[in-house]
Amino acid sequence: MELILLLVIFAFGAFAWLVWQLLRAKKFTRFKQTLEQEIKPKVVAHIINELNETRSELFPNNQAHQEATIYFWCQYKSRILQAALDREIIDKEWLTATGNLRNCQHLFHVERHLLAKTSGE
């Protein structure tokens, strides 16, 4: 009888842990969707404005340059997030307020091999 009770308790605990992991995964997926649907258009607009403002003979920043830059920064979720943080579209306070600071850390960890090195590093 005691063995059955222990197995039931263990099974319930394992089930509760799996449900908790599912909820965390859903929140992470919503965070990635937010990056794609809400943050990415702001990053693209900022990149286009930035390239238009810095146009010169040395840096023509024509349509091909814009497309290449947008492709580079929007190819992966971690780069979208990095571009948004670098360009101050979002900040740590926004990540904390929305409860996405941990998701941000996790995304950077998972896609660390895709992150671009910035000149400040």
Rg (CA), the chain: 21
Phi-psi region of 61 (alpha: psi -120 to 50; beta: other; left: phi over 0): left
- Residue 121 is predicted with a pLDDT of 47
Does residue 119 register a pLDDT over 90? Answer: no
Does residue 1 register a pLDDT over 50? Answer: yes
Mean pLDDT estimate for the chain: 92
State the SS3 of 22-85.
HHHHHHHHHHHHHHHHHHHHHHHHHHHHHHHHCCCCCCCCCHHHHHHHHHHHHCCHHHHHHHHH
- Residue 118 is predicted with a pLDDT of 60
The DSSP element (H or E) to which 114 belongs, if any, is none
CA geometry: angle at 97 spanning 92 and 100, to 5°?
70
89-102: pLDDT as tens digits = 999 999 999 999 99
Does residue 64 register a pLDDT over 50? Answer: yes
CB-based contact 31:103 (threshold 8 Å): yes
9-62: pLDDT as tens digits = 999 999 999 999 999 999 999 999 999 999 999 999 999 999 999 998 888 889
> Of 101 and 115, which is predicted with more confidence?
101
> Of 117 and 58, which is predicted with more confidence?
58
Q: How far apart are the first and last CA of the chain?
A: 62
Please give the Cα distance from 28 to 102 (Å, whole number): 9
Please give the Cα distance from 93 to 96 (Å, whole number): 5
